Amino acid sequence: MKVLVTGFDPFGGDTVNPAFEAVKRLPASIAGAEVAVLEIPTVFRKSIDAIMRRVDEWGADRVLMVGQAGGRFEMTVERIGINVDDARIPDNEGNQPVDEPIDPDGPAACFATIPVKAVVERIRKRGVPAKVSNTAGTFVCNHVLYGVLREIEKRGLSAKAGFIHVPYLPEQVVAKDSLPSMSAGTIASALEAAVEAIVLVERDAKLVGGAEH
């Protein structure tokens, strides 16, 4: 099995992105699967294109996308991507779509096809806080989650895909009052556990992962 793990470049004025800082620490083999990592641009459309180009070239069986969610305490495994771009800030090339569909012909949402709750469970067993998230936002993270799932479906590929949001790194919150952070090493360990679940688990775990709001 081949697992492609992606992380974004820095955006929004930051000089580092915890997503790729952690992703690039992953070993080349996890649970018997071959692992490749890819840094992708925080740019609408180009991010999807970069991932799908690598999927096509390498023949990835699984795609795990990773992005920064400043302010979140845990590793948050996304359940769903929605068909809208509504950017609070511009991307790294100045694009700022507002209320625009990612795919005008696509469904309102696409569910992640990795075992979301099993990933949460495996990360927690590593001693790292994690939970299911039911919103991936409306910026480039949601854009790639929905977009890659949609491209896989349209092309008739057997690959499965999902997304994990990660907290800030400690150095990012030095000048930000009362915001949570997590070290790159801890995030990388959690991502390794996530890949293990993606490779080994056929049927998702039956765990409480809902939210009231």
Catalytic residue list: 78, 141, 165
Report DSSP letters for 138-154, one per residue: SSHHHHHHHHHHHHHHH
Cβ-in-10-Å burial (0-12, 13-18, 19+) of 126 comes to middle
Q: How far apart (Å, rounded) are the C-alpha atoms in residues 143 and 126?
A: 29
The answer to whether residues 79 and 111 touch, using CB atoms and an 8 Å cutoff, is yes
Query: Tokens standing for 112?
Result: 């992640």
Query: Tokens standing for 172?
Result: 């990012």
